[in-house]
């Protein structure tokens, strides 16, 4: 093993939200989620080619032979992931357990030298694996009481909460709670973890257990009529989960229109989560004796709960990392390896989350040339020109001058911006650009120096990573209706001059023109797609959405004059490299090509029907508009422009489609 002063350490996480992080000594050189490169939401590494490894090595300008250590955040043998691309490495490969990687990420990024470290998510390593490989991780294990598992459905217990004490470079396991992520049970699965509890409600309401954020956004519209004790009880350091709520909601099917019972269920589970988390923070304070807490895991993305926890003042200081969910474990794995080689811990707080690679002007110009539907205009004062667009009511795709965010929140590096004064701003963005539920709120980004003037804050408070909610001051809320949630709050991102100078300058210019130091901020993507990573991703998102412009450093791009909807553009299909799998639900996994290697994409059954309709024309250039009548006759679900555009986008992201007949 290398003992160079600044070793190269690669950390990786597998499963959903897979990611890689490359450290050079204590410096984060680059970190990226696989989904940003594969363009497939929540992509993992299992059974697929890994795009993140060549991306990280290329960004750093090194080869795999230069690595000193590789560390994986999973108890699974990395040989189960043969496509990761580590064959050319000559260094040692270590594997650490999932929660330990979470804990190292939280502690290393906090800058603390002493802290309680609390990990809470849906579920981590299975108990059997921990006993076999990491028995020390079961110190202080407490097994939760869970409802009976349905007959014939075995569920292995897993870690659901981990409490560590970080001191110097040492993390000590204090307490581990053991439960079960999900218990199959009708339309609303049973649950045996706090993250699983939210996922169960998300599955019932939105058909996707990963849509916990939608549950949080819906909760303020409802009333918490279901007692918290009907979900979970934490008493004397012991969890008991109940199945009365899943059983009582088994008769309900999802409804396209949000109804009162859905709103009330969301409100009820939010209250149950907050109460359980408060009990865990109290235990963390008592059992570690620390005055600081580093909080992490997918549940730590619930900014409503975070605000309640922080305002309880159980700790003097807190740190919640922006990549709190599983992508952040790649960062933790890399830090674990770096600390092992160096014999000391990093003490650099991670203030920014823009850990992807940055793109210089030549790369932006190349992407513009490759997109025949756009026209680009060089701009001397890009900040002034962007504010001109915003005050004129334009929806702006803002491609920051640094890398993409590692975590799931857009923090002004890959963001869509809008004037928050627009009364129709929320409705317009949800319906025309994001194509998502009307109740979904949008976040306000605010100049840090004006934070307390617009929100009910306490001295010294900030929210740089959009992980807390604050109440607007009532007299100010009416001035920015597009970013005020139904309960009078906003999921705030504070912006200061040091951490994000270009975005800060934009807000200063907007404030000087309007008197409002706030902009609406949401992620640069449309529903169901990853946030854009590259200039090419940003430009094609412009095509597939109703964005007005995309702003790069010194360039504004817009659709070519006279260009209609993407549904009216002629296209042809490219052959897949390989039709890999055909699944029981009629969907297929296909393999296309991409810059960093093959792209695996799951195409739903209706996308396959679209492909067959296009192929019936002999694969001559055709428009989606021409295919719609036949698709409508043959399909039970309605086909409209948005659904057709969504299919075109899925095919394009999989590199299975190219547009034809456009002049250069």
- The distance in angstroms from the start CA to the end CA of the chain is 53
The secondary structure of 286-350 as a DSSP string is HHH--SEEEEESGGGG-HHHHHHHHHTTSSSEEEE-TT-STTHHHHHHHHHHHHHHHSS------
* Nearest alpha carbon to residue 422 among 454, 393, 387, 397: 393
Which pLDDT belongs to residue 1?
A: 47
Relative to beta strand 518-523, strand 549-552 is unpaired
Across-strand partners of 582? 588
Please give the CATH architecture assigned to the domain spanning 100-315.
2-Layer Sandwich (3.30)
Q: Which CATH superfamily is domain 8-96+331-342 in?
A: ATPase, nucleotide binding domain (3.30.420.40)
Q: Environment class of residue 137 by beta-carbon count within 10 Å: exposed (0-12), middle (13-18) or buried (19+)?
A: buried
Q: Environment class of residue 514 by beta-carbon count within 10 Å: exposed (0-12), middle (13-18) or buried (19+)?
A: middle
Say which residues have a Cβ less than 8 Å from residue 234's Cβ, sequence separation at least 6.
275, 276, 279, 280
Which pLDDT belongs to residue 551?
A: 98
Which pLDDT belongs to residue 581?
A: 54
CATH no. for 361-559: 3.90.870.20
Q: Environment class of residue 330 by beta-carbon count within 10 Å: exposed (0-12), middle (13-18) or buried (19+)?
A: buried
Distance, CA of 493 to CA of 430 (rounded, Å): 20
DSSP state of 499: T
Say which residues have a Cβ less than 8 Å from residue 546's Cβ, sequence separation at least 6.
395, 432, 433
Q: How many CB atoms lie within 10 A of CB 506?
A: 25
Distance, CA of 102 to CA of 459 (rounded, Å): 30
Relative to beta strand 232-235, strand 657-659 is unpaired
- On whether the CB atoms of residues 645 and 566 are closer than 8 A, the answer is yes
Mean pLDDT by 10 residues, the chain (664 residues): 78 90 95 92 73 95 96 70 76 94 96 96 93 92 88 80 94 96 83 96 91 94 97 97 89 65 96 98 98 98 97 96 96 94 80 95 94 92 98 96 95 97 92 84 96 96 96 97 96 95 97 98 90 95 92 95 86 68 62 70 82 81 91 82 87 82 56
């Amino acid at each position: 093993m290398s003992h160079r002063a600044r070793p190269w350490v690669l950390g990786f996480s597998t499963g959903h939200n897979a990611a890689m992080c490359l450290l050079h000594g204590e410096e984060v050189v680059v970190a990226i989620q696989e989904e940003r490169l594969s363009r497939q939401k929540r992509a993992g590494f299992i059974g697929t080619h890994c795009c993140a490894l060549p991306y990280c090595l290329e960004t750093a300008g090194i080869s795999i032979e230069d690595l000193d250590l590789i560390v994986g955040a999973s108890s699974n043998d990395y040989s189960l992931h043969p496509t990761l691309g580590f064959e050319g490495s000559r260094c040692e490969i270590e594997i650490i357990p999932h929660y330990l990687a979470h804990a190292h990420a939280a502690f290393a990024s906090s800058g603390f030298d002493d802290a309680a470290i609390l990990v809470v998510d849906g579920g981590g390593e299975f108990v059997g694996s921990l006993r076999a490989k990491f028995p020390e991780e079961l110190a202080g294990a407490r097994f939760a009481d869970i409802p009976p598992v349905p007959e014939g459905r075995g569920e292995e217990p897993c870690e659901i909460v981990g409490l560590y004490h970080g001191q110097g470079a040492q993390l000590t396991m204090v307490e581990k709670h053991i439960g079960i992520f999900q218990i199959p049970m009708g339309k609303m699965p049973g649950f045996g973890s706090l993250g699983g509890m939210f996922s169960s409600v998300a599955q019932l309401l939105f058909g996707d257990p990963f849509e916990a954020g939608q549950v949080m956004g819906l909760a303020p519209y409802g009333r918490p009529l279901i007692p918290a004790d009907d979900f979970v009880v934490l008493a004397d350091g012991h969890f008991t989960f109940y199945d009365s709520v899943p059983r009582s909601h088994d008769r309900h099917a999802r409804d396209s229109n949000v109804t009162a019972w859905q709103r009330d269920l969301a409100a009820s589970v939010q209250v149950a989560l907050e109460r359980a988390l408060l009990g865990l923070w109290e235990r963390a304070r008592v059992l570690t004796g620390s005055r600081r807490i580093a909080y992490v895991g997918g549940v730590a993305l619930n900014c409503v709960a975070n605000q309640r926890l922080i305002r309880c003042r159980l700790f003097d200081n807190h740190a919640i990392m922006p990549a709190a969910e599983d992508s952040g474990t790649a960062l933790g794995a890399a830090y674990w390896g770096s600390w092992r080689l160096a014999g000391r811990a990093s003490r650099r707080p991670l203030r920014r989350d823009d850990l992807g690679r940055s793109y210089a002007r030549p790369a932006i110009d190349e992407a513009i040339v490759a997109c025949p539907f756009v026209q680009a205009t060089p701009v001397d004062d890009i900040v002034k020109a962007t504010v001109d667009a915003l005050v004129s009511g334009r929806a702006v795709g803002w491609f920051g001058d640094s890398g993409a965010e590692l975590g799931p929140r857009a923090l002004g590096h890959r963001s869509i911006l809008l004037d928050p004064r627009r009364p129709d701003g929320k409705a317009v963005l949800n319906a025309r650009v994001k194509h998502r539920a009307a109740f979904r709120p949008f976040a306000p980004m605010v100049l840090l120096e004006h934070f307390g003037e617009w929100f009910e804050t306490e001295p010294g408070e900030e929210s740089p990573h959009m992980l807390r909610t604050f109440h607007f001051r009532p007299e100010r809320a009416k001035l920015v209706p597009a970013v005020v949630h139904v309960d009078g709050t906003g999921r705030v991102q504070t912006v200061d001059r040091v951490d994000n100078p270009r975005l800060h300058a934009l807000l200063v210019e907007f404030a000087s023109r309007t008197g409002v130091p706030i902009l609406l901020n949401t992620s640069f993507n449309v529903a169901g797609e990853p946030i854009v990573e590259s200039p090419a991703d940003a430009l094609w998102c412009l095509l597939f959405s109703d964005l007005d412009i995309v702003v790069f450093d010194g360039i504004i791009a817009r659709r070519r004059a006279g260009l209609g909807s993407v549904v009216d553009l002629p296209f042809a299909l490219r052959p897949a490299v390989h039709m890999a799998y055909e699944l029981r639900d009629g969907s297929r996994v296909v393999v296309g090509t991409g810059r960093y290697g093959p792209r695996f994409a799951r195409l739903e059954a209706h996308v396959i029907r679209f492909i067959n309709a296009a192929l019936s024309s002999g694969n001559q250039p055709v428009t989606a508009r021409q295919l719609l009548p036949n698709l409508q006759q043959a399909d039970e679900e309605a086909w409209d422009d948005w659904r057709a555009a969504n299919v075109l986008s899925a095919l394009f992201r999989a590199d299975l489609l190219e547009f034809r007949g456009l002049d250069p």
